[in-house]
């Protein structure tokens, strides 16, 4: 069983929590994991802990400022891409992660794209873009297309919320819950890994001010996110992963695959937005092979 070490990094006068699984061994570069949201937590990445044993590779995960063990609110001015990208830069510096593989899921994949395209970082051996997006408009369009498959009363509740900009109420919450059940994750029962059922402190403020009120209404600071053209200049090996019923639809994944030079694409036919949870054995196998190919 791999050793687990936890700690905190000072950042912007606050504390960023990190969790390190396993030791650095030989030429195997650590895998640095960027969670989704903005405002989710590292928790679900703990299902990947076994990679430290299966592959003898160190994993590094953390709760981005604003959520989980790095919880913070009452600071809406902080929830920008610069806050989170500079936190990533500082984490790599403080933990001496000179050479890494970077896996970003959902918003974490957006971070990876911004990082590679705008920051041109050194020492990133490869990227894994897991269930993410190249630009907001296609994400919004694909999710609204899927809303049309919901029961009519749920469609009406969502339409009413958009008209009034009142994203609350029982009918709206029920509609969003069903949408997320179909295309994101859950529900998790007592047989699910503990990290998926553990109570967590989600960063609701970070999500609303960073992204928006729901997955198909990007009104926050990331509303102008569009890296479609910049993807053509991607310099590092890149593995794209998505699920058949993922928020990142196969169409979105294909757009990234076509744009990024020499990318590889793996589609998970029995998964929604968390492929590593719903098809873990396949995910681990593909990920381990990819990391070893690109060390």
240-258 b/e with 16+ CB inside 10 Å = b?
A: bbbbebbbbbbebbebbbe
Q: CA-CA distance, 214 to 82, in Å (whole number)?
A: 22
Q: Which residues pair with 97 in a beta bridge?
A: none
Tokens linked to 34: 């960027």
Which residue has tokens 């890994």?
193
> Which residues are catalytic, by number?
106, 246, 273
Q: Which of 36, 2, 39, 20 has its CA nearest to residue 97?
A: 20
Query: Do 55 and 22 contact (CB within 8 A), yes or no?
Result: no
Tell how far CA 111 is from the center of its chain: 8
Q: Which residues pair with 205 in a beta bridge?
A: none
Whole-Å CA distances, 118 to 43, 81, 106, 164, 224: 28, 11, 18, 37, 15
């Amino acid at each position: 069983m791999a050793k687990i070490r936890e700690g905190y990094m000072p950042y912007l006068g606050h504390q960023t929590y990190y969790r390190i699984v396993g030791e650095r061994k030989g030429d195997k570069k650590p895998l640095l994991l960027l969670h989704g949201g903005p405002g989710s937590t590292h928790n679900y990445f703990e299902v990947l802990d076994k990679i430290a044993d299966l592959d003898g590779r160190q994993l590094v995960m953390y709760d981005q400022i604003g959520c989980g063990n790095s919880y913070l609110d009452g600071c809406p001015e902080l929830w920008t891409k610069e806050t989170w990208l500079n936190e990533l830069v500082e984490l790599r510096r403080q933990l001496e992660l000179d050479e890494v593989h970077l896996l970003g899921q959902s918003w974490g994949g957006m971070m990876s794209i911004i990082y590679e395209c705008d920051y041109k970082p050194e020492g990133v051996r490869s990227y894994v873009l897991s269930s993410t997006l190249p630009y907001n408009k296609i994400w919004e369009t694909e999710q609204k297309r899927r809303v049309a498959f919901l029961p009519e009363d749920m469609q009406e509740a969502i339409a009413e919320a958009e008209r009034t900009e009142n994203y609350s109420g029982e009918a709206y919450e029920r509609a969003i819950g069903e949408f997320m059940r179909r295309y994101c994750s859950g529900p998790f029962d007592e047989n699910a890994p503990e990290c998926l059922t553990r109570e967590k402190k989600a960063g609701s403020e970070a999500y609303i001010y960073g992204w928006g009120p729901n997955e198909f209404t990007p009104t926050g600071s990331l509303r102008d996110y569009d890296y479609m053209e910049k993807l053509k200049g991607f310099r590092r090996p890149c593995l794209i992963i998505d699920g058949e019923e993922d928020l990142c639809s196969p169409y979105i994944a294909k757009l990234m695959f076509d744009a990024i030079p020499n990318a590889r694409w793996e589609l998970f036919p029995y998964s929604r937005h968390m492929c590593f949870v719903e098809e873990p054995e396949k995910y681990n196998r593909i990920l381990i092979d990819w990391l070893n190919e690109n060390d």
